[in-house]
Protein backbone atom coordinates (compact mmCIF):
# COMPACT_ATOMS: atom_id res chain seq x y z
CA UNK A 1 0.00 0.00 0.00
CA UNK A 2 1.35 3.38 -0.98
CA UNK A 3 1.95 5.93 1.72
CA UNK A 4 2.43 9.56 0.76
CA UNK A 5 4.25 11.82 3.19
CA UNK A 6 5.25 15.48 3.42
CA UNK A 7 8.64 16.78 2.35
CA UNK A 8 9.78 16.94 5.99
CA UNK A 9 8.85 13.32 6.64
CA UNK A 10 10.45 12.23 3.37
CA UNK A 11 13.69 14.05 4.23
CA UNK A 12 13.76 12.33 7.64
CA UNK A 13 13.15 8.94 6.03
CA UNK A 14 15.99 9.57 3.56
CA UNK A 15 18.33 10.95 6.22
CA UNK A 16 18.97 14.20 4.34
CA UNK A 17 17.97 17.85 4.64
CA UNK A 18 14.85 19.32 3.03
CA UNK A 19 17.16 21.47 0.87
CA UNK A 20 18.84 18.35 -0.48
CA UNK A 21 15.47 16.76 -1.24
CA UNK A 22 14.40 19.85 -3.16
CA UNK A 23 17.66 19.82 -5.11
CA UNK A 24 17.12 16.19 -6.07
CA UNK A 25 13.64 17.05 -7.30
CA UNK A 26 14.92 20.08 -9.25
CA UNK A 27 17.49 17.91 -11.04
CA UNK A 28 14.96 15.20 -11.81
CA UNK A 29 16.39 12.56 -9.48
CA UNK A 30 13.20 12.50 -7.45
CA UNK A 31 9.58 13.02 -8.45
CA UNK A 32 6.98 14.35 -6.05
CA UNK A 33 3.21 14.21 -6.26
CA UNK A 34 1.24 17.35 -5.57
CA UNK A 35 -2.00 17.74 -3.66
CA UNK A 36 -4.88 19.87 -4.85
CA UNK A 37 -3.50 22.63 -2.65
CA UNK A 38 -0.09 22.42 -4.33
CA UNK A 39 1.76 20.67 -1.48
CA UNK A 40 4.48 18.13 -2.27
CA UNK A 41 3.86 14.52 -1.29
CA UNK A 42 6.36 11.66 -1.60
CA UNK A 43 5.64 7.97 -1.94
CA UNK A 44 7.71 6.18 0.72
CA UNK A 45 7.51 2.95 -1.26
CA UNK A 46 9.48 4.57 -4.08
CA UNK A 47 12.16 6.20 -1.94
CA UNK A 48 15.44 4.33 -1.99
CA UNK A 49 17.84 6.01 0.43
CA UNK A 50 20.79 3.73 -0.34
CA UNK A 51 20.70 4.66 -4.03
CA UNK A 52 20.49 8.40 -3.45
CA UNK A 53 23.07 8.42 -0.67
CA UNK A 54 25.61 6.54 -2.77
CA UNK A 55 25.19 9.05 -5.58
CA UNK A 56 25.33 11.97 -3.17
CA UNK A 57 28.57 10.66 -1.62
CA UNK A 58 30.14 10.45 -5.07
CA UNK A 59 29.16 14.03 -5.85
CA UNK A 60 30.35 15.60 -2.58
CA UNK A 61 33.20 18.02 -3.16
CA UNK A 62 36.45 18.97 -1.46
CA UNK A 63 36.57 22.45 0.05
CA UNK A 64 39.80 24.16 1.10
CA UNK A 65 39.40 27.00 3.60
CA UNK A 66 41.87 29.85 4.18
CA UNK A 67 41.68 32.85 6.53
CA UNK A 68 43.70 35.77 7.85
CA UNK A 69 42.66 38.43 10.35
CA UNK A 70 43.39 41.71 8.57
CA UNK A 71 44.05 43.39 5.24
CA UNK A 72 47.77 43.76 5.93
CA UNK A 73 47.99 39.95 5.90
CA UNK A 74 46.74 39.58 2.33
CA UNK A 75 50.08 38.13 1.24
CA UNK A 76 49.74 35.39 3.84
CA UNK A 77 46.20 34.67 2.63
CA UNK A 78 47.51 34.19 -0.89
CA UNK A 79 50.23 31.87 0.40
CA UNK A 80 47.65 29.81 2.27
CA UNK A 81 45.52 29.51 -0.86
CA UNK A 82 48.52 28.48 -2.96
CA UNK A 83 49.51 25.79 -0.44
CA UNK A 84 45.95 24.44 -0.34
CA UNK A 85 45.56 24.49 -4.11
CA UNK A 86 48.88 22.71 -4.66
CA UNK A 87 48.10 20.04 -2.07
CA UNK A 88 44.59 19.32 -3.40
CA UNK A 89 45.81 19.25 -7.00
CA UNK A 90 48.55 16.77 -6.11
CA UNK A 91 45.94 14.48 -4.56
CA UNK A 92 43.90 14.63 -7.76
CA UNK A 93 40.89 16.13 -5.98
CA UNK A 94 38.32 18.39 -7.59
CA UNK A 95 38.18 21.24 -5.12
CA UNK A 96 37.00 24.75 -4.31
CA UNK A 97 38.83 27.33 -2.20
CA UNK A 98 36.84 29.49 0.22
CA UNK A 99 38.68 32.38 1.86
CA UNK A 100 37.90 34.90 4.60
CA UNK A 101 39.66 38.11 5.54
CA UNK A 102 38.38 38.63 9.07
CA UNK A 103 39.10 37.99 12.72
CA UNK A 104 39.22 34.46 14.10
CA UNK A 105 36.84 35.71 16.80
CA UNK A 106 34.12 36.52 14.25
CA UNK A 107 31.62 33.68 13.87
CA UNK A 108 29.68 35.49 11.13
CA UNK A 109 32.28 35.47 8.36
CA UNK A 110 30.72 35.04 4.91
CA UNK A 111 33.12 32.31 3.83
CA UNK A 112 32.75 30.33 7.06
CA UNK A 113 28.96 30.56 6.87
CA UNK A 114 29.03 29.39 3.26
CA UNK A 115 31.27 26.49 4.24
CA UNK A 116 29.07 25.42 7.16
CA UNK A 117 25.90 25.68 5.06
CA UNK A 118 27.45 23.37 2.46
CA UNK A 119 28.65 20.90 5.12
CA UNK A 120 25.24 20.76 6.81
CA UNK A 121 23.53 20.35 3.44
CA UNK A 122 25.70 17.32 2.66
CA UNK A 123 27.54 18.92 -0.25
CA UNK A 124 31.04 18.59 1.23
CA UNK A 125 32.97 15.37 1.55
CA UNK A 126 36.34 16.76 2.57
CA UNK A 127 37.59 19.93 4.30
CA UNK A 128 41.23 20.97 3.93
CA UNK A 129 42.91 23.68 6.04
CA UNK A 130 46.52 24.66 6.71
CA UNK A 131 46.11 24.97 10.51
CA UNK A 132 43.25 24.37 12.93
CA UNK A 133 43.16 28.04 13.93
CA UNK A 134 42.42 29.11 10.36
CA UNK A 135 38.78 28.16 11.00
CA UNK A 136 38.20 29.95 14.30
CA UNK A 137 40.38 31.14 17.14
CA UNK A 138 38.05 29.43 19.62
CA UNK A 139 35.39 26.92 18.65
CA UNK A 140 37.10 25.06 15.82
CA UNK A 141 36.28 21.81 17.63
CA UNK A 142 32.59 22.55 17.18
CA UNK A 143 33.08 22.81 13.41
CA UNK A 144 35.02 19.54 13.47
CA UNK A 145 32.16 17.90 15.39
CA UNK A 146 29.69 19.02 12.73
CA UNK A 147 32.01 17.63 10.05
CA UNK A 148 32.21 14.31 11.88
CA UNK A 149 28.42 14.13 12.19
CA UNK A 150 28.14 14.77 8.45
CA UNK A 151 30.90 12.28 7.55
CA UNK A 152 33.19 15.02 6.27
CA UNK A 153 36.89 14.17 6.24
CA UNK A 154 39.01 16.96 7.78
CA UNK A 155 42.57 17.33 6.52
CA UNK A 156 44.89 19.65 8.49
CA UNK A 157 48.13 20.10 6.57
CA UNK A 158 50.21 21.41 9.47
CA UNK A 159 49.58 20.12 12.98
CA UNK A 160 52.37 22.28 14.39
CA UNK A 161 52.33 25.92 15.45
CA UNK A 162 50.88 28.42 13.02
CA UNK A 163 53.53 31.04 12.23
CA UNK A 164 50.85 33.76 12.20
CA UNK A 165 49.23 32.64 15.46
CA UNK A 166 50.74 35.29 17.72
CA UNK A 167 50.06 38.11 15.26
CA UNK A 168 46.45 37.00 14.74
CA UNK A 169 45.89 36.52 18.46
CA UNK A 170 47.22 40.01 19.18
CA UNK A 171 44.81 41.49 16.64
CA UNK A 172 41.93 39.49 18.12
CA UNK A 173 42.78 40.70 21.65
CA UNK A 174 42.86 44.30 20.45
CA UNK A 175 39.51 43.80 18.74
CA UNK A 176 37.93 42.50 21.95
CA UNK A 177 39.36 45.35 24.03
CA UNK A 178 38.21 47.90 21.45
CA UNK A 179 34.63 46.63 21.63
CA UNK A 180 34.45 46.48 25.42
CA UNK A 181 36.25 49.74 26.06
CA UNK A 182 34.01 51.52 23.56
CA UNK A 183 30.99 50.24 25.46
CA UNK A 184 32.46 51.31 28.78
CA UNK A 185 33.88 54.72 27.89
CA UNK A 186 32.45 55.66 24.52
CA UNK A 187 34.12 55.10 21.17
CA UNK A 188 35.59 58.64 20.99
CA UNK A 189 36.59 59.21 24.59
CA UNK A 190 40.16 60.06 25.56
CA UNK A 191 40.04 57.38 28.25
CA UNK A 192 39.17 54.77 25.66
CA UNK A 193 41.98 55.83 23.33
CA UNK A 194 44.50 55.89 26.18
CA UNK A 195 43.54 52.33 27.14
CA UNK A 196 43.84 51.11 23.57
CA UNK A 197 47.20 52.80 23.07
CA UNK A 198 48.50 51.19 26.25
CA UNK A 199 47.34 47.71 25.28
CA UNK A 200 48.65 48.09 21.75
CA UNK A 201 52.06 49.11 23.08
CA UNK A 202 52.14 46.13 25.45
CA UNK A 203 51.22 43.73 22.64
CA UNK A 204 53.90 45.17 20.35
CA UNK A 205 56.52 44.89 23.06
CA UNK A 206 55.52 41.27 23.73
CA UNK A 207 55.96 40.46 20.04
CA UNK A 208 59.35 42.16 19.78
CA distance 114 to 99: 10
Residue 67 has phi, psi (to 5 degrees) of: -155, 145
- The pTM for the full model equals 0.55
Q: Is residue 94 domain-shared with residue 136, that is, in the same domain?
A: yes
CATH number for 29: 1.10.1660.10
Q: Is residue 95 domain-shared with residue 175, that is, in the same domain?
A: no
Model pLDDT for residues 1-50, shown as the tens digit of each residue: 457 788 888 888 777 778 877 877 887 777 788 787 778 888 776 776 55
Q: Looking at the 3D structure of the chain, how many domains does it have?
A: 3
Q: Is residue 67 domain-shared with residue 52, that is, in the same domain?
A: no
Half-sphere exposure of residue 54, counting CA atoms within 13 Å on the CB side? 4
Q: Is residue 38 domain-shared with residue 84, that is, in the same domain?
A: no
Model pLDDT for residues 44-102, shown as the tens digit of each residue: 767 765 555 555 556 788 999 999 877 778 888 899 999 999 999 988 888 999 999 87
Q: Is residue 120 domain-shared with residue 86, that is, in the same domain?
A: yes
The catalytic residue positions are 69
Q: Is residue 126 domain-shared with residue 104, that is, in the same domain?
A: yes
Q: Is residue 33 domain-shared with residue 95, that is, in the same domain?
A: no
User: Do the beta carbons of residue 39 and residue 72 sit within 8 Å?
Assistant: no
CA distance 17 to 8: 8
CATH number for 126: 3.40.50.1390
State the residue range of the domain holding 145. 60-156
Amino acid sequence: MERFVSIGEAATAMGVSITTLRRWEATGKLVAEHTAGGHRRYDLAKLRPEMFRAEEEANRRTVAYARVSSHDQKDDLERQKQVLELYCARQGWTFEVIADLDSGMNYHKKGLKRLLDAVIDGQVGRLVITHKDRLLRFGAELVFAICEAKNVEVVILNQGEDTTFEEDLAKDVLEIITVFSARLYGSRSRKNQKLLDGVKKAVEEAQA
